[in-house]
Structure 1
């Protein structure tokens, strides 16, 4: 993303500088030259605005995609943790039942 943005910015800057220099060295009246510079600046500004909008949309889409993936992964982790907790509880309940039985047998032998 950053590389594309830098490339676009470089192309726009080069275009603007080249157009400005070409106009400045052209044999025209000052008022015509100033108007051309203003027109080129407006055109460059419009192009930059479009490219910035496209870049913003692309970044937004990328962020949205990553957020959806992250949400899915978190949901999966929580679900897996829930199943693991259920397994642990089941194992502990079985162990408790076994210990209660052993305790009951020990109490019978003591009496």
Structure 2
């Protein structure tokens, strides 16, 4: 993902530089050139803001989805642990009952 972001940023920077150089070398008045540069800068600013907004929305969506997945996994683990703990308790109670029976036999002897 980092590589895609760097590539996209490089393309945007290249396009902006190309647009500015094209305007600077165009045969036009200085005031018109400055206005074109300002217009192009505003356009690039809007594109960047839109890209940042899209990225923010995608990240928020991914974080939300992963949070729900994590909550589901934790709930599943807790449920499994509860069932296993119940099995262990049942087994220990059965062993304790057997030990008590053996102890009674030994005390009678």
Using structure 2 for the length normalisation, give the TM-score.
0.93
- Looking at structure 2, the residues matched to 5 and 20 of structure 1 have their Cα atoms a distance apart, in angstroms, of 22
RMSD (Å), alpha carbons: 1.2
- Looking at structure 1, the residues matched to 55 and 10 of structure 2 have their Cα atoms a distance apart, in angstroms, of 15
Q: Structure 1, unaligned stretches of length 5 or more?
A: none
**Counterpart contact for 1:24–1:33, Cα < 8 Å:** yes
Structure 1 segments (4+ residues) deviating >4 Å: none
Q: Which residue of 2 aligns with 1:78?
A: 78
- Looking at structure 2, the residues matched to 54 and 97 of structure 1 have their Cα atoms a distance apart, in angstroms, of 64
The 5 A counterparts of 1:34-73 are: 34-73=34-73
| Larger relative contact order, structure 1 or 2 (CA cutoff 8 Å, min sep 6) | 1
Q: Which residue of 1 aligns with 2:26?
A: 26
Q: Which residue of 1 aligns with 2:97?
A: 97
What number of residue pairs does the alignment pair up? Answer: 109
